[in-house]
Structure 1
Amino acid sequence: MKMPACFINFSVDSNPSLYMKTLFVSLMCLCLLRAVPVVAESPVTALIQRVDADVNGLNRVYIFRNSPEYFNRMGIYYNDVLKELQRINFKSLSVGEQVDYILLQRNIRHELGNLQTNANLYTQIKPLIPFADDIMALQIKRRRGDKPDAQQVAATLGKVQTSLQTALAASDKQSGYNAVAYRKAAEVVNELEKGLENVYDFYYGYDPQFSWWVKEPYRKVDSLLARYSDQLDNVLADKADKSLDVSGIKGTPIGKDALEELLQFEMIPYAPEDLVAIANKEFAWCDAEMKKAAAEMGYGNDWKKALEKIKENHVAPGDQPALINRLANEAIRYVEDRHLVTIPELAKESWRMYMLTKEQQRFAPFFLGGPSILIAYPTIDMDEASKEMSLRSNNYGFAHATVFHELIPGHNLQGYMNQRYKSYRQEFSTPFSVEGWALYWEMLLWDKGFHATPEEKVGALFWRMHRCARIIFSLNYHLGKWTPQQCIDFLVERVGHERFSAESEVRRSFTGGYGPLYQIAYMMGGLQLRALHKEMVDSGKMTELAFHDTFLQEGPIPIEMYRAIIMKQPLSPDYKSQWRFADHLIK
C-alpha cells in the first residue's frame, strides 16, 4: 500500500524528540486511513468507463470506419463486452446500477446493429469503390511502421489511379443505387483519401526511397479521390435523391421502419403517427393561447398580426449581447427566488457568449447554447434583406423565452452538472433528456407566470409552436411525405417564421449533423419531464427543488430511466420502454 505523505523516513538518532512527534503523526494518519470507508465501484460503472476508453483506443487504430476490418474487429469487441456484462449478477445491483446495466446493454446491441447495417451497405456499394482494398492495405501496414517497398507502393497507386479514372468515366452510366448508397460511397472515398494522406505524411520526407517514388503517384490519386467523392455525392446522389427540390437542401429520409427502431432505442413507446397527433394537439393549445394574447394586444383572434408586431421590437445592431446578459440574470434570479433548482455560484460565473457568423446563421438563425450562448444577429457581410430578417427573428419577445433555455436553468446548467455528477453517463446522453430539459423549463416557467406581458407570451408561444412544427415536418420528411421546401413553407405559414430563419431551420435539421429524431426530442422530452413532475411533485412525493436537482445529478439518460430511479421501479435485464408519458397530458 502506498504510504501517505505524513509517513516520513526519519532516523531516531538524529533527533529523538522530533522522531516521537513524527511517530505520533504517522499513527494518527494510520487511524484516519482505517476510519475512512472504502466504497466499492459498481462493476457496471467500471465496465462503462472501460468500454469508453477501449472504443476510443480502437477507433484511433482502425481509422477506416467503413471497412470489413472495422466491422469485424468492433463486432468481436462488442460481443465480448456483452458476455462480460451478462456475467454480472443483475439482481444484486441497486436500481441506479440496473439502469446503467440496461443502458449499456442497449447501446452495445445498437452498435452491433449499426455495424451489421453498415457492413451490408458496404457490400452493396463495393462495385463503386473497387480500389478500396489497395488503399486500406497501405494504411494497415503503416500502423506499425512497416518498411515500404517504395516502387511497389508507386505501382499500387498507379493501379488505383487507373481504377479511379475508369470509375469517373463510367459514373454517369451507374444505376441501381439510391441516394443513401451513393452518399455512403462518397463517405468511404473521403475516408480513403484521409487514410492515404496518413500514409504519405508518415513516410514522405523520412524515407528517401518513398519520397522519390511515391510523390507524383500520390498527388494524382489524391486529386482523383477528391473528384470522385464530389461526383458520387453532388451528382449521382442528387440525381437519385427524390426528396430534393428547389430548396437545394440535401437530406436522407430514413423511412418508417428505421424511425420506429430509433424510437424504441430512445425509449419512446409511440409510433411516428402517434407523435404527429400529439404535436397537433399541443399545437391546438398554442393556437388558443396565441389568440388570448393577441386579443390582449388589441388584435382580436389574429395572432399573426400580434406576432408581426413583436418582431418589430428588437434592439439595434450591436446591442443584442447586452440584452442577452440582462435576460440571463433575470432568469437566474427568478428560479432562485422560487427555490426551483440549485445553481452553483461557479455555474453563474463561468458561462460565456459568442456571436454567430453569417455562414453559421445559415444553419442557426437563433441562439445556440451549452457552455456558451451563441448569438445570432445581423453581420456586416449580410445583404439588407437578411439583416432585416435576422433582426426580426431575434426580437425581445423571442429572446425572453429562450435565453434561459440555452443558459440557466437550461443547457448550460445541465452541462455543468453532468460534468460533475455521474459523468460516465455521458455515454447514454440523449436529446430527449438534453433538449427535453431545456424545453421543460419553457413549459414550467410559462405555468409560473414568468412571461408577464402579452408580448412576452406571444414570444414564448411562438417557440412552443415551433417545437410542435419540428415534430410534424421532420417526421413527415423522414416518412417520405414532405420535401424540404414543404417543410420550409410549413414553418413560414403555420408558425410565422421569417423565410430566412425557416430555410436555416430546415437546413440545420436535415444537413446539420443531427439525428432523425433530434427535432422531436424537444417537445417529447419536455412532455416526459412534465408528466413525471405531475407524478412526483404535484403528488407531494418530491419538492420541485429535489426533483430538479436529482435529475441534474443523474446524468442525461433517457427520462424513463430517471423515472425508474426516483420511483425505485423493479427492473429486469430485458426491460423495454412502456411509459406512455404523453397520454394524460394532452390538452
Structure 2
Amino acid sequence: MADEGWVAVGAGASTALETFEEPIAERITRVGQDRSDLLAFYKFPTSDARYERLTRFYNDELSALSQRPFESYDQEAKVDYLLLKNYLKRSLRTLELDNARDAEFAPFVQPFATPIRDWVQTRMEVRVIDPQEVASSFDATAREVRRCRQLVRGAKPSRYSKAAGHRAARTIEQIRNHLREMFEFYTGYDPSFDWWVREPYDRLDAALAALPAYVREKLAGIGPDDEEDAIVGEPIGRGGLLAELEAEMIPYSPEELVRVAEKEYAWCEAEMAKASREMGFGDKWRAALEHVKGLFEPPGAQPLLIKSLVDQGTEYVEKHRLVSVPHVAKEAIRMYMIPPAAQKVSPFFLGGTYLQVSYPTSSMSHADKLMSMRGNNRHFAKATAFHEMIPGHHLQLFVADRAQPYRRLFSTPFYIEGWALYWEMVFWARRDFFTCPEDRVGSLFWRMHRCARIVFSLKFHLGQMTPAECIELLVDWVGHERATAEGEVRRSFNGDYSPLYQAGYLLGALQLWKLREEVVDQGLCPEKVFHDRMLNANMMPIELLRALLLKQDLHPDFKSKWRFYQGI
C-alpha cells in the first residue's frame, strides 16, 4: 500500500537500495573520509588499537574493491580503481613501517604511554570514569616517566639510533598533547574530577614536558640550543625505497635514478658553460653564477618584482595558447610575507594557492638578509615565479579543486612538482622566454638543484650520505650558500615530506616530457589540449595518467613498466 509517497514491498522483494552499486569515484571519496575519521578517533600514537583498526580497514577495503566489476568500467573508472588499490596497499605498508619504527623505542615509552592511552581512549568513547582512579593512575604514570629517564640514561650508545631517539621525542610530545586534551575535556565540568585530578595531572604534565628534550639530548645528541637547527631524518633503506617507487609507479631502482640525475646534471653543466661564455667568464660557470647571484633587487623591491614575474608567466602561456587559464585563477592571487624564522627552512618564496615572499627584516642576521635578497634575485626568480603560480602550482591546484577533486587523495610529488618543473623545460625549449644568459644561469641553477635533490635524498635513504654530506653536495654541485643548503636539507628530512618527494621534481618532469613526446609530438592533440587534459585528470602517478590519455588496456593487477628515460 502507498502512504505519503512510501511503497510497501513484500518479503524477499528486491529494492533499488539493495542493488545499489557504489560508483568508484564515490567509493574513493568515502574511503578518504572514513580514513580521516578513523585517524581522528584512533589518534593515539603507538596504540595497538589504532594499528589493528587501520589494518583491518585497509584490508577490508582492498577485499571489497577486488569484488568490483573492473572489466565493465570505462577508462576513467578503471584508472580510479587502480588508484584506490594502490593507495590502500601503500597505506598498509606505511602503517607497518610506522609500527616497526615505534617498536624501536617501545621499551622506554610504552610503560607510561599505555595508561595514558587507555584514559585517552576512555575519554574518546565517553565512558564513565572514577576521578579517584584517574588520580591514582596519573601518580603511578608520573613514576613511570621518571623511570623512563633512568632507562634512557642507562642505555648503551648503540642501543637506539638517533632517528629512533628523535622519533621518540616527537611521540612523547604528541602523548602529552593528547593527555592535555583528555584532562581539559573533564576539568571545569566535573567538580570531583578537579578535586582529585588537578594536582596529579600537573605533576604528570610537568614530567612529560621535560622528557622530550632529555630523550633528544641523550639519544639523538641534540641539545636544547641545537633543537631548532638539528637535521636528523629517518632513512628507510633500499627496501623501503623500492616499495615507495612501486607505489609511485616508477620501474627503476634507486641506483638507476641516481644515474639519471648525474646525466641530467652533466647536461646542466654544459649549458651553464655556454651561458658563462656569453657573459664573458669563459668555461668558469661558477664565476658566472656568483656574478648573477649578486644581481639582486634592493630591499623593499621583492614583492613587486615577484608579482611582475608571475604576470609575465601568465601572459606568456595565454599569448601562445599553451594552457587554459580561468579568469578567477589569475584574478584572485594573494601575496603574504614569510616570517623571518620560517626563512631558515624556506629561504626563497613559495607558491601554490597563494604567494609567500621572503623579505629581509631588521631582526635578521646579515647572512640571513643576504640569503633572503638572493632568494628574490630577478634571474633566479624568473624560473620559479611561474613554477609556483601560473602555469605551475597555483593553476594546478585551482583546477584540482574543481575537476574530479576526489583524486586529490592520490597526491604525488611526481605529478605536483613534476608539473611545475615540466613548465621550466617547456619554456627552455621554446627559446624566447629565457632570452639572456643571466636568465639561463638562474634557470639552470634550479635544474641543477633538482638533480642534486635526487642524489642526496636517495643516497640518504640508502644510508650512503649523512645530512652534513647532503649539505656539502648542494654547496659543491649547485653553488648554494651554506645557509640555504642547510634549509633545503632540513626541509627534506624534517618529516613533512615523503622519502621520494625531492626526487619527484625532476623525475616527474621527465615523465611528463616523455609523455608530451608520445602525445603532442605524435600529433595526437594540440599542446593546449594536452595540458588541459593533464590538469583536468587531476593527481595520480604519471604512468596511470599516460594510460588514461593514451587509452591503454588496463587490468586489475596493473604493474608499472614504462621506461621513460633512456641511456642509463
What secondary structure does 2:355 align onto? strand
Instruction: Give the structure 2 partner of residue 469 of structure 1.
Output: 452
What is the RMSD of the two structures over their aligned residues, measured on CA atoms? 2.0
CA contact (8 A) 2:349 2:375 kept: no
Instruction: Give the structure 2 partner of residue 49 of structure 1.
Output: 29
> 2:362 aligned with 1:362, yes or no?
no
Instruction: Give the structure 2 partner of residue 34 of structure 1.
Output: none
Q: Report the Cα distance in structure 2 between the residues aligned to 1:65 and 1:427, rounded to whole angstroms.
A: 23
Instruction: Give the structure 2 partner of residue 59 of structure 1.
Output: 39
CA contact (8 A) 2:163 2:232 kept: no
What secondary structure does 1:442 align onto? helix
> 2:370 aligned with 1:391, yes or no?
no
Q: Report the Cα distance in structure 1 between the residues aligned to 2:137 and 2:78, rounded to whole angstroms.
A: 52
1:42 offset after TM fit, Å? 6.8
Q: How many residue pairs get matched?
A: 542
What secondary structure does 1:432 align onto? helix
> 2:53 aligned with 1:73, yes or no?
yes
1:140 offset after TM fit, Å? 1.7
1:551 offset after TM fit, Å? 0.4
Instruction: Give the structure 2 partner of residue 92 of structure 1.
Output: 72
1:113 offset after TM fit, Å? 2.2
Instruction: Give the structure 2 partner of residue 188 of structure 1.
Output: 171
Say if 1:207 and 1:248 are closer, same or farther in 2 by CA, change over 3 A: closer
Instruction: Give the structure 2 partner of residue 21 of structure 1.
Output: none
1:231 offset after TM fit, Å? 2.2
**Equivalent residue runs for 1:79-478 within 5 Å:** 79-129=59-109, 130-175=111-156, 176-238=159-221, 248-449=230-431, 450-478=433-461
1:185 offset after TM fit, Å? 2.9
The answer to which of 521-530 and 301-310 deviates more is 301-310
1:576 offset after TM fit, Å? 1.1
Say if 1:63 and 1:248 are closer, same or farther in 2 by CA, change over 3 A: closer
Instruction: Give the structure 2 partner of residue 5 of structure 1.
Output: none
5+ long unaligned stretches in structure 2: 1-19
Q: TM-score, normalised by structure 2?
A: 0.92
CA contact (8 A) 1:106 1:265 kept: yes
Q: Report the Cα distance in structure 2 between the residues aligned to 1:349 and 1:271, rounded to whole angstroms.
A: 43
What secondary structure does 1:401 align onto? helix
CA contact (8 A) 2:166 2:232 kept: no
CA contact (8 A) 2:421 2:509 kept: yes
CA contact (8 A) 2:238 2:254 kept: yes
1:121 offset after TM fit, Å? 4.0
Q: Report the Cα distance in structure 2 between the residues aligned to 1:122 and 1:252, rounded to whole angstroms.
A: 12
Q: Report the Cα distance in structure 2 between the residues aligned to 1:123 and 1:413, rounded to whole angstroms.
A: 42
Q: TM-score, normalised by structure 1?
A: 0.89
The answer to which of 434-443 and 191-200 deviates more is 191-200
CA contact (8 A) 1:82 1:105 kept: yes
Q: Report the Cα distance in structure 2 between the residues aligned to 1:127 and 1:462, rounded to whole angstroms.
A: 47
Q: Report the Cα distance in structure 2 between the residues aligned to 1:121 and 1:111, rounded to whole angstroms.
A: 15
State the AA in 2 paired with 1:319.
Answer: A
Say if 1:124 and 1:378 are closer, same or farther in 2 by CA, change over 3 A: closer
Identity of aligned residues (%): 45
What secondary structure does 1:374 align onto? strand
Which digits, 9 at most, give the CA deviation of each residue in 1:98-138, with x for residues without a partner?
Answer: 11111111111122223333334444433212122211111
Q: Which of 530, 547, 564 in structure 1 is aligned with 2:513?
A: 530
What secondary structure does 2:300 align onto? coil
State the AA in 2 paired with 1:86.
Answer: S
CA contact (8 A) 2:152 2:218 kept: no
What secondary structure does 2:386 align onto? helix
The answer to which of 494-503 and 181-190 deviates more is 181-190
Q: Report the Cα distance in structure 1 between the residues aligned to 2:218 and 2:300, rounded to whole angstroms.
A: 41
The answer to which of 175-184 and 140-149 deviates more is 175-184
What secondary structure does 1:354 align onto? strand
State the AA in 2 paired with 1:183.
Answer: H
Which digits, 9 at most, give the CA deviation of each residue in 1:68-94, with x for residues without a partner?
Answer: 000111122222211221121000011
Q: Which one has a bigger Cα radius of gyration?
A: 1
1:170 offset after TM fit, Å? 2.8
What secondary structure does 1:268 align onto? coil
What secondary structure does 1:402 align onto? helix
Instruction: Give the structure 2 partner of residue 23 of structure 1.
Output: none
Instruction: Give the structure 1 partner of residue 14 of structure 2.
Output: none
Say if 1:361 and 1:41 are closer, same or farther in 2 by CA, change over 3 A: farther
What secondary structure does 1:186 align onto? helix
> 2:477 aligned with 1:494, yes or no?
yes
Which digits, 9 at most, give the CA deviation of each residue in 1:497-547, with x for residues without a partner?
Answer: 122211111111112611111111000000000000001001111110011
Q: Report the Cα distance in structure 1 between the residues aligned to 2:99 and 2:258, rounded to whole angstroms.
A: 33
Say if 1:503 and 1:178 are closer, same or farther in 2 by CA, change over 3 A: closer
Q: Report the Cα distance in structure 2 between the residues aligned to 1:128 and 1:50, rounded to whole angstroms.
A: 38
What secondary structure does 2:139 align onto? helix
Q: Report the Cα distance in structure 2 between the residues aligned to 1:273 and 1:163, rounded to whole angstroms.
A: 45
Q: Report the Cα distance in structure 2 between the residues aligned to 1:462 and 1:377, rounded to whole angstroms.
A: 21
1:169 offset after TM fit, Å? 2.4
Q: Report the Cα distance in structure 1 between the residues aligned to 2:490 and 2:47, rounded to whole angstroms.
A: 30
Q: Report the Cα distance in structure 2 between the residues aligned to 1:154 and 1:42, rounded to whole angstroms.
A: 49
The answer to which of 204-213 and 64-73 deviates more is 64-73
CA contact (8 A) 1:128 1:185 kept: no
State the AA in 2 paired with 1:520.
Answer: A
1:355 offset after TM fit, Å? 1.4
